[in-house]
Structure 1
Amino acid sequence: MVEATSFQDIITPVHNLLRAENSTPSIAPSLTYSDDSDDQDELPQVPAPQNRQRRASTRLIAQNARDIRRITGESTAEFVQRCCGGGCCLMGGRRADVEYVDVKCPDNDAFRSLNITISECPAVLTKTAPLPKKTVSFSPVPKPQTTSITDSAISLGEPVETSAVAGTIAEAAITDTSIEPPRFVQPHPPYHVHPVRICDTRELTKSGAEKRTYHFDLDITDYPDEEGTDFKVGGAIGIMAPNSEAVVEDILDALMVPRFLRDKPVLMKTTNGRWPTVWGDDKPRELVTTRRDLLTWCVDLQSYPPTKDIIRMLAEHATDPSEKQILTYLCSAEGQGVFCDMRTGPHISISQLLHAFPSSHPPLDDLLSVLRQLMPRFYSLSNDPHEAYQMRDNKQHRLVEIAVTVHETTDWRDGSRTGVGSGFFERQARKFIEAKKAGVKNPEIYVPMFKGLMANPLAKEFKADGPMLLIGAGVGIAPFRGFVQRRLKQANCANKVWVLQGIRDSLVDEIYSGEWGVHEDEVKRVVQSRRGEGRYVQEEVRNQADLVWSIINSVDGRVFVCGSSKGMGEGVEEALIDVSIAKGNLEREEARKFWDLKKDAGQYIAETW
C-alpha cells in the first residue's frame, strides 16, 4: 500500500540527520525545551524555512499486518468480524441472466440516511438468512402463592412467598430504576452496582474545542465495603450507563407498544445465554421486570452496526411489500454488497432502522432476542482516591474523580448523537449545572457505579519509588493527574516524575491545567497539534530521548502511556523504538524486543483503546 505525497519527504531525513549532528545532547536527564519543542508562547514562533517538512511523491506506508492495523485501526480478526462474511467484495454488478423486479424505496429521511440505492432487485433471492431463533418471551406475572415454613424447628410465624419469581418481584419493588439498573444486572462478581451522587461537575474544555470533556466528583462515602478492595491510584470505576429516555421512548413508539404496558411488570423468560445480566452462567432465566427497564438498561441501541438477524427480523414483520422485498434482499446473497456498504458505514441505530421501514413492528420480545447486550463502561480515576474529601452537611465525604470526553457520531435525525456512556454523563452534568443555576444547593443526581478494575495495568504498576515518565493525549492524561498528586507529596520523589501531555490547542482543550500540584511547571510538558508548529506528543518523545532513555534504564524506572491506540498509542511506541535505536545503538528489531522485555518486566505500561 502506498500513499501519494510530495517531493519534500525525500529531503526530510537529510535535515533530521544534520540537525541531530549539530545538536548537543543533554548532560543530565531533564524535561528539556529542545529546538523541536513548542515553546508554549502565546504567539508561536515561525519555524525557519529550511526546517519545513517535505514530502516525496510516493511513500510506502504499509507492507505487513502491523502496518495495516496502524492505518485502519483494526486487526484482521476485527475486520473479519465487521465484514458481513458473504463474499460481497467478489460479487459483480447487474447480471444479464437474472430477472429483476422494480422496487419502491421508502420515502422518509431515515431510509435516505442509510445511503443505499436500490431501484430493482432479483426476482428470486438465494441464501436468505434464516429467521433468528426467539430466545426471549413475555408472560403475565403470576399471582404469588404463600405458605408458612419452619427453619431449624423454629417457626417464623409469618407466611412467605415461595413462587419462583417472588425474589425478583421484591427486588423490582425496592429498586429505583431511574437512578440504577435492576438488581439482576450484575457487572461481574463480587461487584454490585450502586448509585453514587455527583458532588460536583464542570466542563474542562472551552468553547471551540473539537471534543467536550467533563470532570466529575463522585461521592463514594456510602459505597458498600463488601467487596473488600479499596480504590487505588490509576484504578478504573465501572459505570452501567443507560440508554437515553428519549431513545427508549422513541423505540417504544416505533414498535407501537401501548403506553399502559411500558412500565407494567412482566415475567420475562430466556432460553439460554447470560442476558440480561452482564455476568453469569449460560442458562435459562426467569425474572420480573418491565419493558422500559429492559430497553433502558439491558440492550445497546446504537453502538453496533446492524446484523442480518436484525434485518431478517424486520423483514419478517414488514407489512409493506416493497419494504419486505428490500429487507429480504439485504439478507440474501444477491444483496451482500448493499448490506456490506450499509453495515460498514456510520453506525446505524435501531431507531433509525425502525423509522426507515415504518411498516415493520416486530414484537418487543422478538427484537430483544437479536439485539446486542449493553455493556459497562470503564473510566480511569483522575485523582488520588485516598486524599480526596469534602466537608458537607457536617460530614466528611470521600470522593473519586474522573474525566469523560463526549464521543459523537453522525445521526440521521439531529446531525450527531453522543455515545451511550459519554452521552449519559453529559446529560447528568447538564442537569447538575442547571440545578445549581436554579439555586439547588445539593442536587440529587446520580450515576450507577461499581468499583470496577483496581488491578488494571495502570494501578498495578504504579509504585511509590523510582522515576516515571507519563505520556498521554486527550482524556488519556486524566489518570496521570492522580499519579502526580501522589508522587509530589513525597519530597524525595519531586524530581522523579515527568509528564508529556498531547493536546490540540491549549487555549480550548488542555484539561486539568494548574491542577497537578506545586511543581507542575517543572514536571509537565504540553505539546499542541493544532497550534504553533503543530506537533504531536510522539515527536516530543523523540525530542526528550535522553530523559526517556535514562528513566527506562533506571532502577524501578517506568514509562506509562495512556490514550487512543489509533495514532497516539502506536506513534508513541514507534517513537520509543526510535529512542532506543538512537541511544542504545540497537537495530529496529532489537529495539522492539527491548520494549517487549520492558513490558514483561512491568516497566513499560501502555493502556490504550
Structure 2
Amino acid sequence: MTSTDIKIPALIARSTGCAPEEPRTPSIAPSLTYSDESEDQDEQLPLPEPPRRRRASTRLIAQSSADIQRITGESTAELIQRCCGGGCCMKLGGKKKEGIEYERLPQPDNDAFRSLALRIGETPTILTKTIDMPEQTVYFEPVPRVLSRSSPADSAVSLGADGDADATVLAAAAPPSPQTAVSAVKVKDVDTTIQPPSFVQPHPPHHVFAARIDTARELTRPGAEKRTYHFDLDISSYPEEDGVDFKVGGAIGVTAPNDASLVDDVFDALLVPRFLRDKPVLLRTTKGRWPTVWGEDQARELVTTRRDLLTWCSDIQSYPPTKPLLRVLAEFAEDENEKKLLALLCSAEGQGVFCDFRTGPHISLPQLLQAFPSSRPPLDVLLSVLQPLMPRFYSLSNDPHESFKTRDGKVHRLVEVAVTVHETADWRRGQRTGIGSGFFERQAQGFLAAQRRGEKNPEFYIPMFKGLMANPLARQFVSDGPMLLIGAGVGIAPFRGFVQRRLKTANCANKVWVLQGIRDSLVDEIYSGEWGVHEDEVKRVIQSRRGESRYVQEEVRNQADLVWYIANAVDGRIFVCGSSKGMGEGVEEALVDVAMKKGNLERDEARRYWELKTEAGQYIAETW
C-alpha cells in the first residue's frame, strides 16, 4: 500500500448502509473532502484570511469593426474568413471615392434610436446592393361565413377574445382559392391565456399541456447576482404517451409566450386598433412552417387572432435584427431620413454599420419600432420576416418517479425545475428578462402574490411538454458505478435528481459526489439542505466570491485523485452541467490537466483521453 493510499480516506458506503459513510479501513477510493492539494487539510493551524481576489477588470478597447482590425493586426483576407464574409472590413476607414456625392443624414431624436448606438457618418447619396424587399408569406383576411370544403385532420383552432368562441381551421398544401370560406364554428379550442393555440404543437405525439404550478419559491436570497426560482409542476393529468415518460436528468419543453406588455408595445407602435387585436382573423400562409413550430413546410390557412400570433408564434426580442426586417421597415417608413438610414443598413455601403449593429446587444422589435417611429408596416408583412418563437428546455431537478403530493384527498404527481432569470440591457426599463426565464419569473411572482393575499390554491400555469431533446444527462444515467457531478449556478439543478436516486440505493460500488460552484453561499447556493441524507458527505460547495474564493475548475484539479478514480472505474461517469463560457471551458481544461498529471500524458493525449471517454459515455457535458 502506498503512502497515498494511507493518507487518503474514502467516502465509500458500507455494504449494509444506504448512504455514503466514512469507512473503518482505508480504501483506494479518494475522498471528496481531502486531497494532497486541498486547501482545507485537517489539523492545520488557521491562517490569516488573504485579501479577496478580485475579478479581472475589463476596459472598453473596441467599439467598431475597424478597432477590431487594428487590434488583431490581421489582414483583411484573414479577418473575413472569421466573420460574416460580407466585406464590411474592407469598407471601414476607407477614403471617400471621387465622383460620389455624400450627405450627413439627420437622425431620429428619440431615446430608442440613441440606444442603438449607430455610428453613422457621411453616407453616399446613392446606395448599391440594397437587398430586395422580402417575399410576403403571411396574409390576413376576414373570416368568411360559409364553408366551401371540408377541413383536413390536422386542423387547429384559436379562441377569440371572449374566451368561448370557436373556429375551424383549414390546412392546405396549396394557396386557397378566393372562394374558400370558413363556416360558423363548432370546434372547442384551448384557453390561450394559459397555453398556446392548438396549432402550436411541438411534435407528434407531444401536445402542449398547461401544468398547474403547485408551489413556487425563490431559491436565491436578496443580493444574489442572478435570481433563481424553483417550481413544482402538477403533471397528474398529463396525457398518456406510449413509451415516453419523464426521466431522471431529463428535460421538459416550455412554450413560453412573449411578455404581454411588449406585445402591446408592438401593437401600439403599428397603430393596430384595440378592437382588432383580439378579433378572429383568417390567417393564410403561402409556404414555410410558421405559425407552427415543427410542422410540414406547406401553405396553411387557419382562424386565429393577431394577439395569439404575436404572443405565441413570433419572437420579438431574442434575435438580432436581420436585413429582411430592416428592409421591411425601410419600405414603410414615411420619414425620408428614416427611410435612408434603414436602407443604408441594408446596403453594401452600410455593411460595417450593420455588422456592429447586429453583433451588439440584442435589440427588441418594440425598440426598433420606437427608434424609427414613422415606419408602421402592416402586421402580416412584419410577421413574414420575424423569427419563430421556439420552445425553451429546462432540466428536471428531481427524480420524477418519486415526487408525489397529496392534496384535496388526491395524489398528485410532480416534476420540479429550477430557472435562473436571464437579463439583458433594455433601453427603457434598464433591464429586461429573457422570454422563457422572464415568463417563469412573472408566473412565480403572480403565484406568490396570490398566496400573500390569502389564496390557498392559486391558478397559475406553465405550458409544457415532454422534452424532445435527447438530453445526454438522462441518456447516460445508470444505476451502477461511481459518479462525479460538476456544476455551477442553475446547472447543478438536474444533479439533484441524480443524487436523490443514488442515495436510495447507495453501496460500495454505487457512489455519487457533487462539486457545486457558486458565487456566495449566503445568497445563491440553491437547494442547500435538499439533496437527501448525508448531503455534507457527498457535496462540496466552492465559492468564487467568499471564503476560499476560487472556481469549481480549481477544485477539479484539487480533487485529481477522485476524478481519476471515477474516470477509470467500471461504469464510472463524470457529468458537467452549466454555462459553456467560463465554467464549461474551465472544467474541460481542468480535466485535461488531471489526465496529464495522473496519467502522465501529453496535452494532446490527455484531450484524446477525454474524447474517448465521451464516446464511451463516461464523460458527459451538457453546457450552453
TM-score after normalising by structure 1 = 0.85
Structure 1 residue identity aligned to 2:614: K
Whether 2:608 is the aligned partner of 1:593: answer yes
Question: Paired residue for 2:453, among 431, 438, 463?
Answer: 438
Query: Counterparts of 1:193-342 in structure 2 under 5 Å?
Result: 193-342=208-357
Whether 2:117 is the aligned partner of 1:115: answer yes
Q: 1:591 to 1:360 in 2, by over 3 A?
A: same
Alpha-carbon offset, residue 173 of structure 1: 4.5
CA distance in 1, matches of 2:469, 2:350: 47
Alpha-carbon offset, residue 536 of structure 1: 0.7
Structure 1 residue identity aligned to 2:397: S
Alpha-carbon offset, residue 428 of structure 1: 0.2
CA distance in 2, matches of 1:121, 1:477: 51
Structure 2 residue identity aligned to 1:114: L
Q: 1:168 to 1:358 in 2, by over 3 A?
A: farther
Q: Residue 394 of structure 1 corresponds to which residue in structure 2?
A: 409
Structure 1 residue identity aligned to 2:568: N
Q: 1:512 to 1:38 in 2, by over 3 A?
A: farther
| Deviations 1:50-86, CA, capped at 9 Å, x for gaps | x999x9xxxxxxxxxxxxxxxx9xxxxxx99995542
After TM superposition, the structure 1 stretch with the greater mean CA deviation from structure 2, 91-100 or 176-185, is 91-100
Alpha-carbon offset, residue 555 of structure 1: 0.8
Q: 1:280 to 1:163 in 2, by over 3 A?
A: closer
Alpha-carbon offset, residue 571 of structure 1: 1.1
Query: Counterparts of 1:450-599 in structure 2 under 5 Å?
Result: 450-453=465-468, 455-492=470-507, 496-599=511-614
CA contact (8 A) 2:35 2:561 kept: no
CA distance in 2, matches of 1:214, 1:167: 44
Matched residue SS, 2:207: coil
CA contact (8 A) 1:38 1:535 kept: no
Q: Residue 107 of structure 2 corresponds to which residue in structure 1?
A: 105
Q: Residue 374 of structure 2 corresponds to which residue in structure 1?
A: 359
CA contact (8 A) 2:556 2:590 kept: yes
CA distance in 2, matches of 1:234, 1:105: 52
Matched residue SS, 1:378: strand
| Deviations 1:299-350, CA, capped at 9 Å, x for gaps | 1100110011111100000001111111111111111111111111100000
CA distance in 1, matches of 2:314, 2:376: 18
Whether 2:437 is the aligned partner of 1:428: answer no
Matched residue SS, 2:416: strand
Q: Residue 129 of structure 2 corresponds to which residue in structure 1?
A: 127
CA contact (8 A) 2:138 2:286 kept: yes
Alpha-carbon offset, residue 593 of structure 1: 1.2
Root-mean-square deviation (Å): 3.0
Alpha-carbon offset, residue 395 of structure 1: 0.4
CA contact (8 A) 2:230 2:419 kept: yes
Q: 1:167 to 1:425 in 2, by over 3 A?
A: farther
Structure 1 residue identity aligned to 2:332: H
Unmatched tracts of structure 1, length 5 or more: 1-20, 56-71, 73-78, 150-160
Q: 1:489 to 1:367 in 2, by over 3 A?
A: same
Matched residue SS, 1:379: strand
Percent identity, please. Answer: 71
Alpha-carbon offset, residue 47 of structure 1: 5.9
CA contact (8 A) 2:481 2:510 kept: no
Matched residue SS, 1:355: helix
Alpha-carbon offset, residue 33 of structure 1: 3.6
CA distance in 2, matches of 1:515, 1:164: 50
Unmatched tracts of structure 2, length 5 or more: 10-27, 57-71, 73-78, 152-166, 172-180
Query: Counterparts of 1:35-46 in structure 2 under 5 Å?
Result: 37=38, 39=40, 46=48
CA distance in 2, matches of 1:449, 1:596: 34
CA distance in 2, matches of 1:488, 1:80: 53
After TM superposition, the structure 1 stretch with the greater mean CA deviation from structure 2, 564-573 or 508-517, is 564-573
| Deviations 1:367-423, CA, capped at 9 Å, x for gaps | 000000100000000000011111111100000000000000000101110000000
Alpha-carbon offset, residue 170 of structure 1: 5.3
CA contact (8 A) 1:383 1:482 kept: yes
Alpha-carbon offset, residue 228 of structure 1: 3.5
Would you identify which runs of 4 or more consecutive aligned residues in structure 1 move more than 2 Å? 23-28, 32-41, 44-49, 79-86, 117-120, 144-149, 161-174
CA distance in 2, matches of 1:335, 1:510: 47
Q: 1:483 to 1:493 in 2, by over 3 A?
A: farther
Alpha-carbon offset, residue 531 of structure 1: 1.2
CA contact (8 A) 1:598 1:604 kept: yes
CA distance in 2, matches of 1:266, 1:84: 39
CA distance in 2, matches of 1:40, 1:362: 67
CA distance in 1, matches of 2:315, 2:388: 6
Q: Residue 12 of structure 2 corresponds to which residue in structure 1?
A: none
CA contact (8 A) 1:236 1:380 kept: yes
CA distance in 2, matches of 1:129, 1:147: 40
Q: 1:263 to 1:52 in 2, by over 3 A?
A: closer
Q: 1:244 to 1:467 in 2, by over 3 A?
A: same
CA contact (8 A) 1:254 1:355 kept: yes
CA distance in 2, matches of 1:408, 1:37: 36
After TM superposition, the structure 1 stretch with the greater mean CA deviation from structure 2, 336-345 or 350-359, is 336-345
Matched residue SS, 2:467: strand
Q: 1:401 to 1:542 in 2, by over 3 A?
A: same
Structure 2 residue identity aligned to 1:123: T
Count of residues in correspondence between the two structures: 552
